[in-house]
Every structure is written in structure tokens, then in C-alpha cells.
Amino acid sequence: MLAFLTFGFSSILGGLNFITTIVRLRAPGMTWSRVPIFVWSVLAASLISLSATQFVAYGLLMVILDRVGGTSFFNAAQGGNALLYEHVFWFYSHPAVYIMILPAFGIVLEVLAHFSRKPLFAYKWVVASFMVVVVLSMLVWAHHLFTSGMSSYLHMPFMITTELISIPTGMVFLAGLGTIWQGRLWLTTPMLFAMGFLFNFVVGGVTGIFLADVPTDIHLQDTYFVVAHFHYTIMGGEIFAILTGIYYWFPKMTGRMFNDTWGKIHFGWIMIAYTATFIPMFWAGLHGMNRRNPQYPADLTDINQLITVMALLLAASFVPFVVNLAWSWWRGPAAGPNPWRAKTLEWQTSSPPPVTNFAHPPQVVGSPYGYGIPGSSHVAAPVAGAADGDSHSGK
């Protein structure tokens, strides 16, 4: 409990650090309308980690007091209320999902804009959507308690707030589609992962509506439908976005280029194995496969065995990833300052960057996404060799 409390404290301080840095330490000329969307997403996530993490800390503190201090916050036998723990826990733990997924949105939109060579579609609407998610994320926690015995008059309001959250998240999805739309796509490994994210996230989002809806949730509670939905958001969403970010920033971090062919093999492999693992779980869940229960009806044996084999195949997909990046870090060709010819600041310095990031503070003069707009540039004077252009080699 104390270890978890310490971890929560680091999350709060991390949020505070990101907010302070973004508000106080932007480069000269980096106005709010020129801030890259990834930075906006980190700001939004930090607002949640700064303001919601306290609640799980209170929950843990109350458990400690119950166990060693003789109190009875949660012990019904002594007048406490066990449901109170679920409320306090989920008041943090639902927003925590958005602490994870907001930066994932940011990474993916960033990559979609740079590799579509088009301005990010509906930039201001996306920023507004992030902030709406921050507010709504604090108002949905009790959707985890629909079958817990919580008072039933609370069902309707939490069902509505939960369904409302599909509006800003749907907006982010549409901004991704709008950015790709009629773009000249440069299908590198990070771009493929970003597009894989979009596909997986829409499956996770649409199946989430059935779990937000009280009548269907009561039926689907604690089945593999929930497991499949959760993995579509956290693995198909979050992990795909992290892989997008690792491939995208790998040349910047290491100064070396990864093997794009092996990157694409990794993408194809993980996408097929991932889909084959988690799509059958929706079916199994609908047919009565319960979570956290080793015993199940015999007629579900085949589908469980299929899922097991596919899950092993999914785990194996990380072998080409690790080998490719380890080898490339050691022996890969030099990447140069800006291999993607992207406009944002991190690509306007050497790879990897010097300790101070830039020899002289860069002067920001325009949008980071002004692709295809004549005369548009993000930085006044990029360092030598870091081209800030619209063209690409058309690989």
C-alpha cells in the first residue's frame, strides 16, 4: 500500500512538472495555437494525473487505517461501507485510462499529420476535445459499479455521462480520418502503426458503448466481452500508439535508422495475431465465457484453444521488433537530423540532440503542420542539414 502511495505521489509530481514546463518553458514564438498536438495531449493527461490521483491515495490510506489503525471505513460489520472503496478507487481509476490514452491520441495524430503531408485536420476541435475528456473523465466512474449493488437511481446519470465521452473521443477519431483523407500517404512503419491504432480504437470505442449501456452491461459484466473491449483500447490503442511513437522517434533518440521492411513485417504480424486473439473473445464473452474463472462450458473449448494459440503468436510478434531495434541501434545507418522531413522542433536539431537540445533557442514562426501551404514554416532557422520541406522521397 505504501509503495503504491509513493507511486501515486510520483504521478502527481510528474503531472505538475509537465504542466509547469508546458506553460512556462515553451520556445520563443511557441504560442498556444502553434503547440504540437502531442504536447497538448500530455498537458491534458497531466491535468488528470495532478487532480485525480489523490483519490486513489485516499482510498489506500483508508485501507491502511482499516488494517492497522482500527478504523472501519470499508468494514460493514463495524458500520463501514465496502462500496465506498469501489467509488474512491474508480474515481481515480477511470480517469487513469485517459491519462494513458490521451498521449496515445497525441502520438497518433502527430504521426498521421506528418506522414499524410497535410495540416492536422480540426486542430482546435481536437484540443477542445482533449479538455472535454479531462472534465468528463471525472464524471463517469460509477459505470464500473452497475452490477455492484449501487443505488439504481445512479445508473441513468452515469450511463449518460459515459456515453457523452464518445463525442470528444469520436472527434479525435474523425480528426485522424480527416487528416489522412486525400493525403499523399507515406506508408512507413510508424504510419502503419498509427493507422492500425485508428482501426483498433474504433472497435474498442464502439464495443465500449455496449458496456456503458446499463441493460447490456448487466448481461456482459465479467465476461470475455469486457476483456476484449479493454484490450482493444489498452493494447490495440495504447500499445499500438507506443509502438508508433518508438518507431517514429527511434531515429531521433539513437541517431540511427531502423529497418523499415522488418518494421512492416512486425506491423503485419502483430495486426493479424492481435485481431485473431481478441475478436474471438467478443464472441466467447457473448456465449457465456466468464472472466477469472478456469472452468467453462465444454463447447467453448475450441475457441479458448484458438485464443491461446493466437496469443502465443501475438507474443512472438515482439521478437522481430526487439531484434530489429537492438540491431539498428548498434549497426543501423545514420539517420541524420530529420529523416521524416517533419516540421516540428525536435527534428530541427541533430539526432540524438545535444544536452541543451539546441545550440541557440529556436524561433517558432508558424504552425507545426503547414504541409502543402506555400510559405508556411514552423521554425525560423533550422539547423544545417535539417530540411523543413513538404516533399518526400516517395518510398
Query: Which residue number, 208 or 362, has a Cβ lying nearer to Cu ion?
Result: 208
Site for Cu ion in 288-317 (CB under 5 A): none
Work out how close the CB of 211 gets to Cu ion at its nearest, in angstroms, rounded to a whole number.
9
Read off the C-alpha cell for 328: 539498428
Query: Which residue number, 94 or 117, has a Cβ lying nearer to Cu ion?
Result: 94
Residue type, position 113, single letter: A
Work out how close the CB of 141 gets to Cu ion at its nearest, in angstroms, rounded to a whole number.
7
Using CB under 5 A as the binding rule, whether residue 114 contacts Cu ion is answered as no
Residue from 34, 94, 117, 118 touching Cu ion (CB under 5 A): that is: 94
Among the listed ranges 43-51, 91-99, 182-190, 199-207, the one in contact with Cu ion (CB under 5 A) is: 91-99
Among the listed ranges 36-44, 67-75, 86-94, 299-307, the one in contact with Cu ion (CB under 5 A) is: 86-94
Q: Contact at 8 Å (CB) between 95 and 137?
A: yes
Query: Which residue number, 94 or 114, has a Cβ lying nearer to Cu ion?
Result: 94
Residues 6+ apart with CB under 8 A from 296: 288, 289, 290, 304
Among the listed ranges 92-100, 207-215, 230-238, 385-393, the one in contact with Cu ion (CB under 5 A) is: 92-100
Distance of CA 88 to the CA centre of its chain: 24
Work out how close the CB of 143 gets to Cu ion at its nearest, in angstroms, rounded to a whole number.
5
Work out how close the CB of 93 gets to Cu ion at its nearest, in angstroms, rounded to a whole number.
7
What's the start-to-end Cα distance of the chain, in Å?
52
Distance, CA of 269 to CA of 275 (rounded, Å): 10
Among the listed ranges 60-68, 87-95, 363-371, 386-394, the one in contact with Cu ion (CB under 5 A) is: 87-95
Helices (H), the chain: 2-24, 37-68, 82-116, 123-137, 155-164, 166-180, 189-212, 214-220, 224-233, 240-254, 260-286, 301-316, 318-331
Work out how close the CB of 96 gets to Cu ion at its nearest, in angstroms, rounded to a whole number.
9
Work out how close the CB of 292 gets to Cu ion at its nearest, in angstroms, rounded to a whole number.
18
Residue type, position 208, single letter: G
Q: If we measure between CA atoms, which residue out of 302, 272, 271 comes closest to residue 284?
A: 302
Work out how close the CB of 138 gets to Cu ion at its nearest, in angstroms, rounded to a whole number.
11
Query: Which residue number, 157 or 333, has a Cβ lying nearer to Cu ion?
Result: 157
Among the listed ranges 72-80, 89-97, 221-229, 361-369, the one in contact with Cu ion (CB under 5 A) is: 89-97
Among the listed ranges 93-101, 108-116, 317-325, 381-389, the one in contact with Cu ion (CB under 5 A) is: 93-101
Query: Which residue number, 167 or 323, has a Cβ lying nearer to Cu ion?
Result: 167
Q: If we measure between CA atoms, which residue out of 331, 197, 339, 321 comes closest to residue 264?
A: 321
Q: 223 by DSSP, 3-state: which?
A: strand
Read off the C-alpha cell for 304: 479458448
Distance, CA of 391 to CA of 387 (rounded, Å): 10
Using CB under 5 A as the binding rule, whether residue 229 contacts Cu ion is answered as no
What is the contact surface with Cu ion in residues (CB under 5 A)? 94
